[in-house]
Amino acid sequence: MDMQIRRAGERGGANHGWLDTKHTFSFADYYDPNHMGFRALRVINEDRVSADRGFGKHPHANMEILTYVLEGELGHQDSMGNGSVIRPGDVQRMTAGTGVTHSEMNPNKRDAVHFYQIWILPAKQGLAPSYEQKAFPDRAGKLRVVASPDGRDGSVTVHQDMTLAAAVLKPGEKVEHAVTTGRYAWVQVAKGAVRLNDKELVAGDGAAISGAGNLQITAASDAEVLVFDLA
């Protein structure tokens, strides 16, 4: 098993005042040919958006877009007629497919919203646009599948051979994930600090795992982690 650590401080990004954004992979004005994505993962952006600010209407196509809120709330409107507010514990999946426009605004007049937006390359292009949003309050002390190709266990459905699981951990709690032959994994620490096998990771750090083996994630503090299982 090979593990490549992507440290939080090495990420690209920018601070626009109303938006503080960090890019694990090349995105917008940040380009690094060594960090263009991992397997079907194309974007992992960690965003903080100021109160009463956000992204106006803008288009997307041929991408699976997952939004995972850590703190605050994020308002969503799209050209499919969906309108919602995404809160901590929620996962939103939008299949951009042949094309959608959407806006993402922080409806709170006082507090910032802190969230991850994840782009996944779909298994095929030209899909019909679609949308899902579900709440996952049962992430404490375990890896809870929140996105999968077959929507199993009530997860949102992603049009790619990948699974995303999330865990909220207290200090000393441990979860495990087996990387089977021919599969890959990406672990993203969203909050706190953990030990990933023999490596110490903190919020914003990620790790690309190639080769079969067992991953043990032990919380060193209150922590939240995302684990991607990828083809």
Nearest-angstrom CA–CA distance, 41 and 38: 5
Domain ranges in the chain are: 2-230
pTM: 0.96
Domain made up of 2-230: CATH architecture? Sandwich (2.60)
Q: Would you write out the chain's pLDDT as a tens digit for each of its 231 residues?
A: 999 999 999 999 999 999 999 999 999 999 999 999 999 999 999 999 999 999 999 999 999 999 999 999 999 998 999 999 999 999 999 999 999 999 999 999 999 999 999 999 999 999 999 999 999 999 999 999 999 999 999 999 999 999 999 999 999 999 999 999 999 999 999 999 999 999 999 999 999 999 999 999 999 999 999 999 999
Q: How far is CA 218 from CA 99, 116, 213, in A?
A: 40, 22, 16
Tell the burial category of 123 from Cβ atoms under 10 Å away from its Cβ (0-12, 13-18, 19+).
middle
